[in-house]
Amino acid sequence: MGIFDTSLNSIYMNMMLGLGTGAFYAIMSLGLAIIFGLLGVINFAHGALFMLGGFLTWLLLEKLGLGYWWSLLLVPLMLMVLGMLIERFLLTWIKSLDHIYSLLLTLGLALVIEGLMHKYMLGNDLRITYSAPEAFRGAVDLGFMRLPKYRGWTIIASLGVCLATWFMIERTKLGALLRAGTENPTLLQSFGVNVPMMVTLTYGFGIALAGFASVVRIPIETFTPTMGTAYIVTVFAVVVIGGMGSILGAIITGVLMGLIEGLTKAFYPQASTIVIFVVMVIVLLIRPAGLFGREH
C-alpha cells in the first residue's frame, strides 16, 4: 500500500509540473496560432525571439538593475516593436506568396538571431540564470508535493494571459476586425480601417506573447543561445495538434500536452521527449486539420 501511495504522489507531482509546462506551451503556441491564423505566416523565428526575450530580461535585471515587474512589462513591449519592424520591413514583401516563403524567411531570421547571440555570448559556454522575485520565494504545501510559489505564478499568469487573449480575439469588436481583416481585407479597408497597420500590430502582439513567456519562464531554467531552437519544434507540434490557426485549440492543446508529458515522465520517463510527436502523428492520421482546426 505504501508503494502505491508513493506512486500516486509521483503521478500527482508530475501532473502539477506538467501543468506548468503546459501553460508555457499554451502561451507560446498561442502566439504562433495568432500569427498564422490571422496573417497566414508560419513564424519559425518565434523560438529565437523567445530566446532573445530571455536575454533582454537578463540585461534589464542584472545590468540595468530594473525589477522583475518592469521586465515583465518592458520585454514584451520591446519584442512587440521588433516584431512590428520585422513584419513591416521583411514579411510585407512576401505576404502575397505561398506560406513556404514566410517559413523560409523566418527560419533564416531565426538563424541570424541565434548566430548573433552565439557571437555576442562566445558560443554555448556561457549560461545565464536569474532568480525569481522575492515575492515568489518559498513553496506551498499541496499535500502530495511542495509547489514552488514561482511555478504556481507561472501557471496562473500564463493561463490568465491566454484566456484574456482568447476573449479579446473572439468576443470583442477588435477581435472581429482582426478576423474580418483576415477574410476580406479589401472590404474592411473600404470602411476606413488601416489594415496594414492592423496586420503589423497583430504580428507584433504574437511576438510579445513570446516575450512574456520568456520573462516568466527563464527563472526556472538555464538560458542558452540555442534554447529557442529546442522549443520551437515542440511548440509547432502543439500548434499542429490543436489545428493551425485555432486560438482556443492552441491553449487547450498546450495544456493537455504538458499534462500528457508530465504523466509520461511518471510512468515511462524515457518517452517523455517524444510523446508529443507520437500524439501529433496519431492526430494527423485521424484528423489532418488538427483537433480544433477547420477542414478545408
For the cut 90, the answer to whether the pLDDT of residue 87 exceeds it is: yes
pLDDT tens-place string over residues 12-40 = 888 888 999 999 999 999 999 999 988 88
Q: Does residue 199 surpass a pLDDT of 80?
A: yes
Global confidence as pTM: 0.92
Q: What is the pLDDT of residues 33-65, one digit of tens each?
A: 999 988 889 999 999 999 999 889 888 988 888
pLDDT at 296: 55
Q: What is the pLDDT of residue 228?
A: 87
212-225: per-residue pLDDT in tens?
Answer: 999 998 888 777 78
- Could you tell me the pLDDT band of residue 1, with boundaries at 50, 70 and 90? very low
Q: What is the pLDDT of residue 62?
A: 81
One-character DSSP codes across the chain: -HHHHHHHHHHHHHHHHHHHHHHHHHHHHHHHHHHHHHH----TTHHHHHHHHHHHHHIIIIIS---HHHHHHHHHHHHHHHHHHHHHHTGGGSTTS-HHHHHHHHHHHHHHHHHHHHHHTTTTT--B--PPPGGG-SEEE-SS-EEEHHHHHHHHHHHHHHHHHHHHHHHSHHHHHHHHHHH-HHHHHHTT--HHHHHHHHHHHHHHHHHHHHHHHGGGS-B-TTHHHHHHHHHHHHHHHH-TT-HHHHHHHHHHHHHHHHHHHHH-GGGTTTHHHHHHHHHHHH-TT-SSPPP-
